[in-house]
Amino acid sequence: MKFKSSSVKETIEFGRKFAEELKAGDVVCLEGDLGAGKTHFVKGIASGFGIDQEKVNSPTFTLINEYYGEIPIFHFDCYRLKTIQEALEIGIEEYLYGEGVSVIEWPSKIKELIPENAIQIEIKHTGTSERSILISDRS
């Protein structure tokens, strides 16, 4: 599935609609350059589960943010990870196979740990405020 966004608002709204397809235990991998809109997409997912999107921010320095709504959202940012061991030390496997939805920015940093059935999403800049959002089918 491919979606084009012309604004931050549209990216958030698409994330909210996408959340309707998610269930506990799902893992969503978000790839995209810095500033592509990954965290805005997560704001939408969170709002789809009744979480105030204003509480959602990038966990770049904390590695993980937890948000609690109808289903917990575990939001990872693996950009600063240097080794798989660092991810294991924060207990990532407990999150990935837990009762919430795990959303991972920069999943390529921990690709060995990503479940095979994870949902892959790529967000690309296509203009000043335009984005292309490509969702791959589950494996």
Q: How far apart are the C-alpha atoms of 117 and 119, rounded to whole Å?
A: 6
What residues make up the domain containing 25? 2-135
Q: Where are the beta strands (DSSP E) in 71-127?
A: 73-77, 101-105, 119-125
CA 11 to chain centroid, in Å, comes to 13
- Give the separation between CA 6 and CA 67, rounded to whole angstroms: 27
Note the pLDDT tens digit of each residue in 3-35.
Answer: 999 999 999 999 999 999 999 999 999 999 888
DSSP letter (8 states) at residue 136:
P
Contact between 91 and 74 (Cβ < 8 Å): no
Q: What is the rounded CA–CA span in Å between residue 27 and residue 6?
A: 26
CATH code for position 27: 3.40.50.300
Span 112-128, pLDDT tens digits: 999 999 999 999 988 88
Q: What is the pLDDT of residues 71-86, one digit of tens each?
A: 999 999 998 899 999 9
Band of pLDDT at residue 50, cut at 50, 70 and 90: very high
C-alpha to C-alpha distance for 18 and 49, rounded to whole angstroms: 11
Task: Indicate the number of domains in the chain.
Answer: 1
Phi, psi of 86, deg, nearest 5: -60, -40
Which tens digit of pLDDT belongs to each residue from 55-114?
A: 998 877 788 999 999 999 999 999 889 999 999 998 999 999 889 999 999 999 999 999
Phi-psi region of 25 (alpha: psi -120 to 50; beta: other; left: phi over 0): left
Dist CA 66 CA 80 (whole Å): 18
Residues 43 and 56 sit within 8 Å (Cβ to Cβ): yes
